[in-house]
């Protein structure tokens, strides 16, 4: 009896990773480019409206994500159960991504009716985007548990997937590219506000087309090696399975408690743009040449925010072989909370101005340590959810890949919603919203400093949101997983028996076909 382990080829792995890169570029174009910047700083929507739009979208996702997971698990085609959505879904997601930016250009924003129409467009297009994105997000992550039966290969693939997903974070460059492109329109005597809108639409369109082509490769270039379960459950039963599976429930609750961590990615680009570049990345270029101090400051902070995540994502698959999943997961959470907290401490110590080189280096190091914990937790979350799928197959005879990975999608989206609400409440409290931002932008172009503008309240609220809520969230997230219900030893024993079971099923199927 053969018990060979089936796994992916190098070509399949690479095609999957390119698709993952494209999918995450699209996510960051929306999460950072649209929600984190365009709606608030370009078309000046009220921050409270943005917060509620995102929150309502996440409430719908609480229903929509498990529904999509159930649909994926019930799918049975010649391509498998995940690949059909990755073959036909990316073009639709790409089109709707572009449409979310086509807002505020065909109606008069100065009238109450015009503003209402812009807000409605933002709400409808964003919710529609979330629904279609889910149809690609759940299958692409679920595919990792179907491409291989080998535990180490799966960990490697998930680790690489998280790294590539992080690289897909270059989608946030939509902000910088659009600001640079705006000069093309202003040189044609187009008002700055309109120039910014046009440049964002053009930039988002180009980046989305590239992302969509990459995303498509995950569907056309992979194969599903693990046979899907023939047993299926109703929507209600799938919700029950999700909640009754104790290790999965622990991960889900932990992820929700960790929600404020999303503030880092939500605010990162606007933080760097305003706090260091005084509202415009083009301030790097002056009449006398390049402002190297500003360039170095931005470089150090950007490296700190992103490099820590990449490093942790790269080393985590190796650490998984040496340390228990639960210990790694909880370590990353605690390790990240400390530097997050210290960010606000040094902001207070420095009197609100951290732009000197010494303070920039300290800030960059703290961001790197904090983001490393975030990156490590993300990898461990995916690994542990994949383990829960094996757990369910072993105990109940069904692989709920789609349903369980819909939980990961749900965690990400709900976290984004909670983070958006926290941001809207905090910004609203100091008046950092709609018309006030439009006025501030004009003052900054006239030479005022963002750091001291409005007595430094705007800068302070940004630093607070980037530090204290994430620190609290990371500490709270350890509580549910302190006594994690799926030890590594138990999972390994289950997986060994599942590999034998799969081999026996293949042999039986081959014998019946003869």
pLDDT tens-digit profile of 199-226? 999 999 999 999 999 999 999 999 888 7
What pLDDT score does 57 carry?
86
- Could you tell me the CA-to-CA distances from 236 to 2, 233, 240, 407 in Å, in that order? 38, 8, 6, 15
Class of 10-223+231-513 in CATH: mainly alpha
Instruction: Tell which residue, 497, 249, 250, has the closest CA to residue 397.
Output: 497
Asked if residues 280 and 179 have their Cβ atoms less than 8 Å apart, the reply is: yes
Residue the block writes with tokens 């005879």: 397
Burial class for 472, CB neighbours closer than 10 Å (0-12, 13-18, 19+): middle
b/e 334-362 (16+ beta carbons within 10 angstroms → b): ebbbebbbbbbeebeeeebebbeeebbeb
Tokens of 203: 């930039």
The model's pTM is: 0.78
What pLDDT score does 109 carry?
56
d(C-alpha 41, C-alpha 282), whole Å:
16
What pLDDT score does 1 carry?
38
Length of the chain as a residue count: 514
- Collect the ranges in the chain with pLDDT lower than 70: 1-4, 62, 104-111, 227-235, 238, 509-510, 513-514
What pLDDT score does 345 carry?
95
What pLDDT score does 107 carry?
46
d(C-alpha 224, C-alpha 204), whole Å:
32
d(C-alpha 36, C-alpha 194), whole Å:
19
d(C-alpha 232, C-alpha 275), whole Å:
52
Tokens of 259: 């929600």
Residue 290: strand pairing partners? 285
Asked if residues 177 and 282 have their Cβ atoms less than 8 Å apart, the reply is: no
What pLDDT score does 300 carry?
94
Tokens of 377: 């937790």
d(C-alpha 225, C-alpha 12), whole Å:
11
Residues 6 or more apart whose CB falls under 8 angstroms from that of 485 comprise 246, 247, 250
Exposure on the CB side of residue 310, measured as CA atoms within 13 A: 12
What pLDDT score does 232 carry?
61
What backbone torsions phi and psi does residue 228 show, to the nearest 5 degrees? -75, 155
Asked if residues 27 and 424 have their Cβ atoms less than 8 Å apart, the reply is: no
SS3 content of the chain, % helix, strand, coil (to 5): 80, 0, 20
Exposure on the CB side of residue 187, measured as CA atoms within 13 A: 6
């Amino acid at each position: 009896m053969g018990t060979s382990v089936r796994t992916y080829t190098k070509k399949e792995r690479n095609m999957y990773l390119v698709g993952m890169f494209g999918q995450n570029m699209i996510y960051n174009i929306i999460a950072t480019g649209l929600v984190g910047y365009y709606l608030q700083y370009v078309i000046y929507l009220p921050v409270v409206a943005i917060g509620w739009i995102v929150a309502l979208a996440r409430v719908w996702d609480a229903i929509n994500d498990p529904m999509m997971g159930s649909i994926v698990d019930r799918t049975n085609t010649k391509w498998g159960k995940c690949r059909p959505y990755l073959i036909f879904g990316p073009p639709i997601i790409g089109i709707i991504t572009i449409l979310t930016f086509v807002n505020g250009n065909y109606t008069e924003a100065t009238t109450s009716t015009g503003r209402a129409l812009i807000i409605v467009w933002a709400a409808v297009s964003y919710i529609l985007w979330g629904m279609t994105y889910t149809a690609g997000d759940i299958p692409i992550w679920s595919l990792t548990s179907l491409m291989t039966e080998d535990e180490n290969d799966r960990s490697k693939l998930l680790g690489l997937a998280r790294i590539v997903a992080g690289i897909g974070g270059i989608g946030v460059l939509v902000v910088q590219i659009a600001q640079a492109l705006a000069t093309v329109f202003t040189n044609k005597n187009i008002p700055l506000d309109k120039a910014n809108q046009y440049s964002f639409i053009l930039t988002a369109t180009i980046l989305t087309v590239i992302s969509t082509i990459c995303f498509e490769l995950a569907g056309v270039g992979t194969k599903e090696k693990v046979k899907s379960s023939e047993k299926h459950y109703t929507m209600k039963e799938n919700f029950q399975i999700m909640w009754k599976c104790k290790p999965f429930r622990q991960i889900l609750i932990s992820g929700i408690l960790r929600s404020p961590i999303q503030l880092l990615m939500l605010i990162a680009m606007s933080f760097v743009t305003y706090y260091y570049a005084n509202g415009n990345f083009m301030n790097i270029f002056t009449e006398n040449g390049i402002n190297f101090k500003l360039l170095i400051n931005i470089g150090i902070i950007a490296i700190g925010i992103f490099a820590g995540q990449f490093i942790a994502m790269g080393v985590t698959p190796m650490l998984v072989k040496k340390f228990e999943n639960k210990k790694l997961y909880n370590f990353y959470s605690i390790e990240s909370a400390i530097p997050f907290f210290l960010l606000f401490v040094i902001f207070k110590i420095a009197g609100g101005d951290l732009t000197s080189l010494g303070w920039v280096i300290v800030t960059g190091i703290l961001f790197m340590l904090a983001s490393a914990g975030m990156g490590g937790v993300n990898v461990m979350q995916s690994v542990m959810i994949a383990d829960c799928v094996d757990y369910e197959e072993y105990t109940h005879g069904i692989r709920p890949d789609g349903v369980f990975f819909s939980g990961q999608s749900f965690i990400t989206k709900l976290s984004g919603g909670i983070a958006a609400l926290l941001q809207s409440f905090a910004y609203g409290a100091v008046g950092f919203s709609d018309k006030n931002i439009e006025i501030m932008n004009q003052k900054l172009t006239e030479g005022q400093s963002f750091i001291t503008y409005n007595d430094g309240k705007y800068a302070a609220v940004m630093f607070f949101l980037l530090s204290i809520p994430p620190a609290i969230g990371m500490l709270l997230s350890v509580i549910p997983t302190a006594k994690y219900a799926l030890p590594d030893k138990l999972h390994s024993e289950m997986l060994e028996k599942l590999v034998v079971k799969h081999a026996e099923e293949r042999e039986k199927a081959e014998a019946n076909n003869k």
